[in-house]
Structure 1
Amino acid sequence: MSADPVLVLKFGGTSLGSPARVRRAARRVAAHVRRGRRVAVVVSAMGHATDRIVRLLGAVSAGVRPDPREADRALATGEDLSAALLASSLAGLGVPARSLRGGEAGVWAKGGFCGGRIEDVDPAPLQTLLAAGIVPVVSGFQGARDDGETLTLGRGGSDTSAVAIAAALGADCHIVTDVEAVYDRDPNRHADARRIGEIDPLALLVLAEGGATVVHPEAARLALVHRVPLRVYSHRAPLSGRGGTVVREAAVLEEAA
């Protein structure tokens, strides 16, 4: 009998913006685990942590552009902290979990510092933990280069990490964010933005490239190319993850109608 399919849960910075929200994220993961799902988690930095790190780099660099290597190492700590805190919260609920940096999770990147791109995801480290009943909690926004250096992936890179990992694991991916669903425009800026309940991956990519900020364009592209089913919903949604926006191929949406 084959193992149950894996679910990748990605938590954005707002979803982890306080200790209470970290605990709620942990309860969401635990709810899926207790229903028999194997869950891998990808996290962003908490709240405005990345902005604070950028300001700190500027403050200590005395007006000189920060060294790109050191900037990447500093920036990656925001996600590392989120991963460790969420793994700790899961342990407190009796759910075995382990935080992993991008490279430790098998995320390989290429390119220069402060602008890397995911080259490949080796699913073996995550599969080993999942087989042992341990929830891997992965630092998004980062990967390891062949020379061992850490590269960050640019703003929104944690979405890309989550979809790439889901593709490597043959998993569905839930993106837990600060809005209730995908909208045709940014609902934080446009009061008349229209909520979308179901959408196919190509339409999502068009929206993302047009400025709808719920899902990063590169993540939307990967979901389209690798046929990764997505669901997008708020951190305030029921722990079941029902509601929000379902992103699947048009034929699948028609069959489910």
Structure 2
Amino acid sequence: MALLVMKFGGTSVATLDRIRRAAKRVGREVANGHEVIVIVSAMAGVTNELVGHVQETSPLFDAREYDAVVSSGENVTAGLMALTLQEMGIPARSWQGWQVPLQTTAAHAAARIERIPTDNLGAKFAEGMKVAVVAGFQGVSPEGRITTLGRGGSDTTAVAFAAAFGAERCDIYTDVDGIYTTDPRITRKARRLDRIAFEEMLELASLGAKVLQTRSVELAMRYGVRLRVLSSFEEGGDEAGTLVCREEDIVESNVVSGVAYSRDEAKMTLMSVADRPGIAASVFGPLAEAGVNVDMIVQNISEEGRTDITFSCPTDQVMRAERALNEAREHEAISFHDLVVDTEVCKVSVVGIGMRSHAGVASRMFRALSDEGINIKVITTSEIKVSVLVDRKYLELAVQALHNAFGLDRAPDAAQG
């Protein structure tokens, strides 16, 4: 009997009515002959509320107790979903992470999945269970403590179960009906993609698209899990939503598949750094130790033994970065004249596997921004993406201009012409 994994996010299970709607979808798959593993998130808003309780109770909280509290929201949803399915006459049972057991590292609040044994759930399916409702986002450490996987961890849970059980497909139900060429809130011309390659989705997720968690896409690509993103609020057949799949499963695609953005970026420049062997390690080592997520990096040509180093990071990590760099200067690990910070920038990126075989993408991107009077502050490239930092006030204009420049409102065959 074929097995499906179906994941429902917080908005999809926000109320009892929405849980019933989701349960009906599960019931249809059971009626079609599938066994189903359902992964559920906490009801919308619950996790934020629980996090608030923890922070109010203990600002310097014990991460182990943090996990014990914030994981409870998924337990409630799993139990309610199982009860709803039982009321529909479907043999279902809820499972918490430790009952599976979903084995993780001991890094509380940011654990990584190490192994999912299939024995317990497999035995229950053999006994006649049709649906296993598993609390997403949570697992168990080697010490037997509850762990959580970080924000968006239920996506990762779902893909990991699909890989462990060899599922036919992993369906991710959200409040949007698929992956779009860009944020539809910015341009009405945004078009839903029927298919997108794992690599493209991974880049889009890491660059700011929030439909799928980055680690879930990494897992899907590694284990070849076919992912489908679709809306829990709209009806659709087997072709609904967007399929995230291998590149060879896509017949036609645009050179550029999507435009992503990250609004809350900062640009930091170390002015007149002493240029010597190992200087990059001396700069970025302290930043890494301070937990600063450095993204784009540019180093100017050295002149008279001095150089400038520019990098970007999230705006909420600027103070941490400043402290780390100033402490490194005090300890004479690095030498620089000034640290210039610009917190009014954003990152805009174009992504597409077609870039591998088509020249001129960067040129077209820069021309489109130039035509709108948008100055580029920093540029980075990879095999399938080009990213730029621009003033944040131009974010919407930049996204719209690039979406138009690459014809993303049109289907691949039309856009290529």
TM value normalised by structure 2: 0.58
The farther-off stretch of 237-246 and 215-224 is: 237-246
Cα distance in 2 for residues equivalent to 1:216 and 1:232: 12
Quote the residue 1:243 is aligned against. Answer: 240
* Contact 2:177–2:231 (CA under 8 A) maintained in structure 1: yes
Quote the residue 1:102 is aligned against. Answer: 97
Quote the residue 1:21 is aligned against. Answer: 18
Cα distance in 2 for residues equivalent to 1:214 and 1:179: 8
The answer to whether structure 1 residue 145 and structure 2 residue 174 are counterparts is no
Q: Can you give the 5+ residue segments of structure 1 that lack an aligned partner in the other structure?
A: none
The answer to whether structure 1 residue 132 and structure 2 residue 127 are counterparts is yes
Cα deviation code 1:84-140 (max 9, x no counterpart): 010010001001111111121231100321111111111222222222332110011
Aligned residues: 250
Cα distance in 2 for residues equivalent to 1:231 and 1:98: 24
Cα distance in 2 for residues equivalent to 1:25 and 1:175: 12
Cα distance in 2 for residues equivalent to 1:70 and 1:122: 25
Secondary structure at the counterpart of residue 176 of structure 1: strand
* Contact 1:185–1:211 (CA under 8 A) maintained in structure 2: no
Cα distance in 2 for residues equivalent to 1:159 and 1:45: 12
Quote the residue 1:175 is aligned against. Answer: 172
Quote the residue 1:47 is aligned against. Answer: 44
Q: Once superposed, what is the RMSD of the aligned Cα atoms? A: 1.7
Higher RCO (CA-CA < 8 Å; seq separation 6+): 1
Displaced runs of 4+ in structure 1, greater than 6 A? none
Letter in 1 for 2:205: A
Quote the residue 1:185 is aligned against. Answer: 182
Identity %: 41
Cα deviation code 1:132-151 (max 9, x no counterpart): 33211001101111111111
The farther-off stretch of 129-138 and 149-158 is: 129-138
Matches within 5 A, 1:111-130: 111-130=106-125
Q: Give the superposition deviation at 1:240.
A: 4.6
Secondary structure at the counterpart of residue 236 of structure 1: coil
Which residue of 46, 54, 57 maps to 1:60?
A: 57
The answer to whether structure 1 residue 154 and structure 2 residue 154 are counterparts is no
The answer to whether structure 1 residue 92 and structure 2 residue 87 are counterparts is yes
Q: Give the superposition deviation at 1:193.
A: 3.6
Cα deviation code 1:223-246 (max 9, x no counterpart): 000000011100112265541101
Secondary structure at the counterpart of residue 254 of structure 1: coil
Secondary structure at the counterpart of residue 114 of structure 1: coil
Quote the residue 2:9 is aligned against. Answer: 12
Mark the CA change 1:73 to 1:190 in structure 2 (over 3 Å): closer, same or farther. Answer: farther
Mark the CA change 1:206 to 1:178 in structure 2 (over 3 Å): closer, same or farther. Answer: same
Q: Give the superposition deviation at 1:204.
A: 1.2
Cα distance in 2 for residues equivalent to 1:85 and 1:57: 24
Q: Can you give the 5+ residue segments of structure 2 that lack an aligned partner in the other structure?
A: 253-417
Cα distance in 2 for residues equivalent to 1:133 and 1:252: 35
* Contact 2:2–2:33 (CA under 8 A) maintained in structure 1: no
Cα deviation code 1:132-180 (max 9, x no counterpart): 3321100110111111111100000000000001000111100000101
Cα distance in 1 for residues equivalent to 2:191 and 2:208: 14
Cα distance in 1 for residues equivalent to 2:107 and 2:51: 18
TM value normalised by structure 1: 0.92
Cα distance in 2 for residues equivalent to 1:239 and 1:123: 31
Quote the residue 1:195 is aligned against. Answer: 192
Quote the residue 2:230 is aligned against. Answer: 233
